[in-house]
Amino acid sequence: MNAGLLERKTAIITGAGSGMGKAAAKLFAAQGANVVLADLNKEAADQTAQEIDHSGQVLVIQTDVGDDESVQNLVNETFNHFDDIDVLINCAGVPQFFTPIEEMSIGEWDKIMSVNTKSIFLTTRYLVPYMKKREKGSIVNIASIAGIRARPGLNAYCASKGAAIMLTKALALELAPFKIRVNAINPGPAETPMLGKFLPGDAQQVEEDKKKIFIDSVPLGTLIKPEDIAQAALYLASDLSKAVTGEIMNVDGGRGI
């Protein structure tokens, strides 16, 4: 791999305490970026910071990505510390436990929409003024293959990711005149703590269902690794993809075909 693809760049990564966000934080730091680790779970983000083998600086900011004030604080603190921003990876997300629509609570629906979709609106809203002034920026939204290929019982989750995909395209067009690129990644079923949370049953049942429901639906026959998503995010964050915007990249082992 090329060394230093993100030298002298500053990246905010939400959901950096676990799974794909954690893998992206480690990879981006190894590629020379200053990284801001934003997660609701501060302990987990601190743990990521400790595991980082970096040449740049690391800043942990406890953030609720669905909360207006908390996101404003994330952006203000990033600028107080680094006075710059190049990359935003919107990776924080919550799953949905398989639920028939008539049993879906309004509170749960709102939470999924808030963390998975409104978060992209909020982070972009507060970062874009800085990016516009400097005429640079790469925003990468981690959506899901569930945003284009539905599963029964994942009504809110699929809707939240479908909206994230369309928001990505709308923002790509809106922000192109300012040299700000906006892309999304659709991960397929991935080996992270989130995957089991979609499924009912005890631990053994969950492991069996993971195979039956998720692995068997992937043509390449294996779950996606968080590092697979981090590599794709690195491409979209870096200048390697300087001609790419509005792209929705499936990193899904063929699940979306």
Ligand X SMILES: NC(=O)c1ccc[n+]([C@@H]2O[C@H](COP(=O)([O-])OP(=O)(O)OC[C@H]3O[C@@H](n4cnc5c(N)ncnc54)[C@H](O)[C@@H]3O)[C@@H](O)[C@H]2O)c1
Give catalytic residue positions: 157
Closest by Cα among 93, 85, 81 to 139: 85
Chosen residue from 27, 52, 66, 112 binding ligand X by CB under 6 A: 66
Is residue 107 classed exposed, middle or buried when 0-12, 13-18 and 19+ CB atoms within 10 A define those classes? exposed
Site membership for ligand X, residue 73 (CB under 6 A) = no
The tokens describing 20, both together, are 């794909």
Outline where DSSP puts E strands in 63-147: 87-90, 138-142
CA neighbor of 19 nearest in space, from 223, 215, 231, 226:
226
- Residue 190 contacts ligand X per CB under 6 A: yes
Q: Which of 56, 93, 153, 256 binds ligand X (CB under 6 A)?
A: 93
Q: How far is the CB of 120 from ligand X (least distance, A)?
A: 10
- Residues 6 to 25: which contact ligand X by CB under 6 A? 14-15, 17-21
Residues in Cβ contact with 196 at an 8 Å cutoff, skipping those fewer than 6 apart: 203, 206, 207, 210
Q: Cβ closer to ligand X: 29 or 65? A: 65
- Using the rule CB under 6 A, which residue among 13, 37, 75, 115 binds ligand X? 115
Binding segment for ligand X (CB under 6 A), chosen from 36-44, 80-88, 148-156, 175-183, is 36-44
C-beta of residue 228 within 8 angstroms of C-beta of residue 165: no
Site for ligand X in 197-256 (CB under 6 A): 226
Does 92 contact ligand X by CB under 6 A?
A: yes
For tokens 């516009």, the residue is 132
Residues 44, 87, 139, 154: which binds ligand X (CB under 6 A)?
Answer: 44
Q: Angle at Cα 91 formed by Cα 86 and Cα 94, nearest 5°? A: 155
Residue 65 touches ligand X, criterion: CB under 6 A: yes
Tokens at 248, concatenated? 């929705």
Told to check if 187 binds ligand X by CB under 6 A, we report yes
128 lines the binding site for ligand X (CB under 6 A): no
Binding footprint of ligand X on the chain (CB under 6 A): 14-15, 17-21, 39-41, 44, 63-66, 91-94, 115, 142, 144, 187, 189-190, 192-195, 226
